Amino acid sequence: MPIPLLVAIEIDPVSSSRLEAAGFGLRVAIDKAERARVISTAGDDIRAVLTNGSTGLDADEIAAVAALEIICALGAGYEKIDLDAARARGIVVTHGPGTNDATVADHAMALLMAIARGIVGADHAVRGGDWLRSRQPRPMISGKKLGILGLGTIGEQIARRGAGGFGMDVAYHNRTPRADAPWLYLPSPLTLAQWSDFMVVATPGGAATRHLVDAEVLAALGPAGFLVNIARGSVVDTVALVDALEHGRIAGAALDVVEGEPNVPPDLARQQNLVLTPHIAGRSPEAVKATVDLVIDNLKAHFGGRPALTPVPGT
């Protein structure tokens, strides 16, 4: 008999079929209201939940799923899963580190190049018949200073692409320096912004990093500096970013993530020196397969009486 699995996030049909073939009966509930309805009717049967860091699973939801044994986060993030509530129940929580790092790093560099070289605006101008307007000088990337805010596995891959592919000088900020990192460590987001031509946000989400990039950091990045965010929308203060873009305090920004997504604030959306993508940095076919592979492996391990492969630290 299939093991009931609550799917709280959007997944593609191929991934759904793979989960079903692995022995799980899917109860799909994407929005919170639908999730509450499914939990109220099937909460006594559901033994596993598939979510991600952006959607999470809160304490009330965890409490309402009486038979819950394991929560799997698709991808590396898990910031909105209530870990304390899970620990109190002895519920296993897993995530997917390393499954989409390369894809996210590729996307970060694509965003960096797109905003620096004005690709989106030039495309729009040419399609509109305005060839001359699109032929304005734009900054080069090679040899510039690349700052990485958060040198985890994704940040490291971005750094290697910048240094090895474009001959960029690289610096980074973490809570503590990494002994194995060959790049310059700077002691704060502010000093990193002051140093950088391009600053890429690659930190985890959650309360500890909320609005880490604020008005002061953006001012330090300066009118020739560019911001790229492939982490979580909450890391950047949206009001401060809109103000910086409107008044030329930074040269431009490229965001794959936005506070409150999928809703994009109108004041942000109308900025011309901005490139937006809909949280797709980790969505390559290769990465999707790898993340679902790991979810299935974790679920099979747990329900087969073995330890999970990639438990969230401390759970």
Residues 158 and 227 in one domain: yes
Q: What is the mean pLDDT of the chain?
A: 95
**89-132 pLDDT, tens digit each:** 999 999 998 899 999 999 999 999 999 999 999 999 999 999 98
**21-42 pLDDT, tens digit each:** 999 999 999 988 999 999 988 8
**What are the catalytic residues?**
232, 261, 279
Residues 77 and 214 in one domain: no
For 29, residues 6+ apart whose C-beta sits below 8 A from its C-beta are: 6, 7, 8, 35, 37, 38, 39
**176-190 pLDDT, tens digit each:** 999 999 999 999 999
For 185, residues 6+ apart whose C-beta sits below 8 A from its C-beta are: 171, 172, 173, 174, 177, 178
Residues 108 and 183 in one domain: yes
Residues 134 and 263 in one domain: yes
pLDDT given for residue 150 in this prediction: 97
Residue range(s) defining the domain that contains residue 20: 3-98+285-303
Whether the per-residue pLDDT at 80 is higher than 90: the answer is yes
Is the residue at 167 inside a domain?
yes
Average pLDDT estimate for 218-235? 97
Is the residue at 94 inside a domain?
yes
* Pairwise CA distance, residues 18 & 297, whole Å: 12
Whether the per-residue pLDDT at 314 is higher than 80: the answer is no
For 182, residues 6+ apart whose C-beta sits below 8 A from its C-beta are: none
Residues 113 and 238 in one domain: yes
Average pLDDT estimate for 127-148? 92
Is the residue at 74 inside a domain?
yes
**246-298 pLDDT, tens digit each:** 999 999 999 999 999 989 999 999 999 999 999 999 999 999 999 999 999 99
Is the residue at 23 inside a domain?
yes
Domain count, the chain: 2
Average pLDDT estimate for 300-306? 97
**144-201 pLDDT, tens digit each:** 999 999 999 999 999 999 999 999 999 999 999 999 999 999 999 999 999 999 999 9
Residues 130 and 194 in one domain: yes
Residues 82 and 204 in one domain: no
Residues 72 and 113 in one domain: no
Average pLDDT estimate for 42-62? 93
Residues 240 and 253 in one domain: yes
Residue 177: which CATH number? 3.40.50.720
Residues 299 and 252 in one domain: no
Is the residue at 296 inside a domain?
yes
